[in-house]
A and B are shown apart, each in its own frame.
Chain A
Amino acid sequence: MSEDTSKLGIGTDEWVAQHEKRLQRRAGLPGVIDLLNQRVSNRVRYSVLALVAIFFGLFVHNLYLLRIASNLGVFLMMTLGINIVMGFAGLLDLGFVAFYGFGAYAYALTSSSQLNQHWPTYLSVPAIVIVTAFLGYLVSLPSRRLFGDYLAIVTLFFGQIFIQLVLSSDSITFPGHTDSTDITGGSNGIPGLDPFRLFGRAFKSTTDYYWLLVVVLTLLLIAIVRIDRTRVGRAWRTIREDTLASQSMGIKVNNLKTLAFVVGAAIAGLAGAIFAGIQDAVFINGFDIPLLTLIYAAVILGGSGSIPGSIIGAFVMSVLPEILRVQNYSEFLFLAVLLVTIAVIGKNLKKFAINIGALVVIGYPVKALFYLSHLTTTPTKVWAIAPVSKVLQYWLVLPANRIVWGNMAFIALIALVAYYSIAHEAIKPWLLPFIAYIAIFLWEDRLVADASTTRQLIIGAMLVVMMIVRPQGFLGKARVEVL
């Protein structure tokens, strides 16, 4: 970075090539982060990650946290898998969760009383991985000629076929029989699965699965990083870049597409089997579109094609919902995000103080207005139990009919935010405290109580903001299509 580039003739090859060195480093904290980003190698980052995972397993004995960590592990396997299919090879595979579901159901059928099969784990899990990989091969066959939207539709269809098959396979009458056989348990799922039995022990607790996931993920990450930077990984990226050029350089595009499908499917199958083991049961509604959207959201948020991006995306998408589940945490998180947003928009301390002051001032007249109109109520005990709401109850309006007022606030918030984005610069500062007030009102009165809706709203909002601010995702590289 220190090399002097000013001596080069302006406009020459070397001058153009070194334009990045002439860019000014960003000031303050962002500059330090940029510098760290450049200096720390991926090897160091992965090692730190592995160490954190090991320390977490050694010192955390809270079962709830271990459960969240294990779910994160399974989810991470999925994002790494979809990152190969979509991120590396550029294939939009919307049937991906079907492989995951297939892995889970295959484990359930080979390790439960459902069909009276109790295979040893050493046999069942490798068999599941191989069969799921073969399934990936079969799905890739009709997809070999398809790209983009067309491929997405075909694979989405495949995913739905899987769900319908599982749902309707609870009463199958075989030829020569009069009574029907229950294979998949239909919508009731299959409960009571055998735990994994590996290394001479039965996996009774979540801790066992946690360590299994740490080992599997470490190996998987090493493998994927290596594949990414060698022959096959490069060839996958050429397909994403320019299929025709790729073919003309002797690369068998169809075989590589198939390979991406197969590898992705095998990873998803393994993830499914482990998930079934942790859950101790399988239910079909866990393998439908909502999960698919979460996985894609994670990869897109982190940056499609970036392995560290997939890890961060998986972390956000799988841990954030758990945080939002607890009222206390979710309130803190919300207020923190709100304050940071106001600070970023305000740009300096003075404006920030004015905005916060205005926000506080707005609260009291509104509360008085509602009080005089006899529309308010005293806070319920459940609501006022968390520290944040305990403080806020003296300031925030608590209407008797929360749902109606909350819904109205929701519409008002969207309208105001939309108006804000096109408003004149002179009007914007006046709007901000009102938007913040309505956001707090909406959050505290309506959304905190309705955690599942809130999660989806938050994820949607995050994606929208991300796609506007940084379309390539958090760690993705901005892609250049035509120059």
Chain B
Amino acid sequence: MLELKKVSMQFDALKSLTELDLTVNKGEIVSVIGPNGAGKTTLFNVVTGIYTPTSGEVLLNGKSIAGQDPADVNRLGIARTFQNVRLFLNMSVIENVMSATYARTKSNIFSSALGLPSSRREERAVREKAEELLNFFGSRLTGYRWDQPAYSLSYANRRRLEIARALATNPKVLLLDEPAAGMNPKETQEITDVIGRLRAEKELTILVIEHDMHVVEGISDRVIALDHGVKIAEGDFDSVATHPDVVDAYLGKGSADRK
């Protein structure tokens, strides 16, 4: 589904990613772990078109997408959330989701201004779709919440809303950047379930960056560990979590031997 071949990303003298190979198969949930500054978010930015890789290839279903505009990458079926939550804060909760259907809808200013039936129908459909997506999160984002501004939401709800917004673009691949950051244990458990349901119900392929090892353990088919832009380990959770290089990367050189 999604494939990276020898992708490097260099900012002046700083090598953020070095010849990274990565494959995510259809319907798979792959987690990316690694210490801060390992290049995880850079990886997401390269995949979603925010950065053009210095070298290497990014393929979606075998077609190269590297260097394309973020909007085009999204239209090809890759949606993402952001590590530092980038909602449209001054728009209502439901508008946040509705706005993300932009690429899949057609009304232009003339049909909207004239209030043509086609435009009204589409508007109703968009609203229904947004309500349905928000209902995906149970009682967290329903009913009275819809017309409140996004800035009134709690931190955890903002992360949920961002996922709902990404879903509204009808993606095939979903990139989640630290979905459980800032959540309490109960909410963390919930988001773990949600990620599982996303694959089951929405048939999504999911790439997750996550620091919370309980989440990583709970959801991942495969785990990839990055350090200094280099892949240091890959495999199932247990093998990566106990991999000596990974332990070194997190706890400092030599930590693995001391144990």
> How far, in Å, is A234 (CB) from chain B's closest CB?
4
Q: Is B98 an interface residue (CB 8 A)?
A: yes
In angstroms, Cα B50 to Cα A246, docked, is 12
Q: Is B149 an interface residue (CB 8 A)?
A: yes
> How far, in Å, is A11 (CB) from chain B's closest CB?
10
> How far, in Å, is A455 (CB) from chain B's closest CB?
33
CB of A244 within 8 A of CB of B107, answer no
6 new A-B contacts, CB < 8 A, other than A231-B126, A245-B87, A480-B89, are A226-B115, A234-B99, A244-B86, A248-B74, A251-B71, A483-B151
> Could you say which residues of chain A place their CB within 8 Å of the CB of B112?
226-227, 230-233
Chain B residues 84-115 with CB under 8 Å of chain A are 86-91, 95, 98-105, 107-109, 112-115
> Could you say which residues of chain A place their CB within 8 Å of the CB of B69?
247
Q: Is B119 an interface residue (CB 8 A)?
A: yes
Q: A230-B119, A234-B91, A480-B151 are in contact. Are A247 and B71 (CB under 8 A)?
A: yes
CB of A245 within 8 A of CB of B88, answer yes
> How far, in Å, is A360 (CB) from chain B's closest CB?
49
Selected interface stretch from B4-12, B140-148, B215-223, B236-244: B140-148
CB of A235 within 8 A of CB of B107, answer no
Q: Is B165 an interface residue (CB 8 A)?
A: yes
Chain A: number of interface residues, binned into ranges: 35 or more
**Which residues from chain A sit less than 8 Å from chain B, CB to CB?**
13, 16-18, 222-224, 226-227, 230-235, 237-238, 241-242, 244-253, 259, 263, 477, 479-481, 483
Selected interface stretch from B34-42, B75-83, B195-203: B75-83
> Could you say which residues of chain B place their CB within 8 Å of the CB of A241?
87-91
Chain B: number of interface residues, binned into ranges: 35 or more
CB of B148 within 8 A of CB of A234, answer no
Q: Is B166 an interface residue (CB 8 A)?
A: yes
CB of A248 within 8 A of CB of B80, answer yes
Q: Is B152 an interface residue (CB 8 A)?
A: yes
In angstroms, Cα B90 to Cα A267, docked, is 27
CB of A250 within 8 A of CB of B74, answer yes
In angstroms, Cα B115 to Cα A222, docked, is 9
CB of A13 within 8 A of CB of B86, answer no
CB of A237 within 8 A of CB of B50, answer no
In angstroms, Cα B89 to Cα A246, docked, is 12
6 pairs of residues in contact across A and B, judged by CB atoms under 8 Å = A224-B113, A227-B113, A230-B107, A231-B102, A237-B88, A483-B89
In angstroms, Cα B169 to Cα A226, docked, is 23
> Could you say which residues of chain B place their CB within 8 Å of the CB of A234?
91, 95, 98-99, 102
Q: Is B154 an interface residue (CB 8 A)?
A: yes
> Could you say which residues of chain B place their CB within 8 Å of the CB of A245?
82, 86-88
Q: A234-B95, A249-B165, A250-B74 are in contact. Are A13 and B157 (CB under 8 A)?
A: yes
> How far, in Å, is B191 (CB) from chain A's closest CB?
15
In angstroms, Cα B115 to Cα A335, docked, is 48
CB of A249 within 8 A of CB of B79, answer yes
In angstroms, Cα B108 to Cα A263, docked, is 12
Q: Is B190 an interface residue (CB 8 A)?
A: no
In angstroms, Cα B89 to Cα A235, docked, is 14
> Could you say which residues of chain A place their CB within 8 Å of the CB of B144?
17-18
> Could you say which residues of chain A place their CB within 8 Å of the CB of B145?
17
CB of B109 within 8 A of CB of A238, answer no
In angstroms, Cα B70 to Cα A244, docked, is 8
Q: Which residue of B lies closest to A477 (CB)?
A: B90
CB of B157 within 8 A of CB of A250, answer no
Q: Is B234 an interface residue (CB 8 A)?
A: no
Q: Which residue of A lies closest to B153 (CB)?
A: A17
Which among B75, B113, B145 has the highest number of chain A CB atoms within 10 Å? Answer: B113
In angstroms, Cα B95 to Cα A477, docked, is 16
> Could you say which residues of chain B place their CB within 8 Å of the CB of A226?
112-113, 115
Q: A226-B113, A227-B112, A231-B105 are in contact. Are A249 and B169 (CB under 8 A)?
A: yes
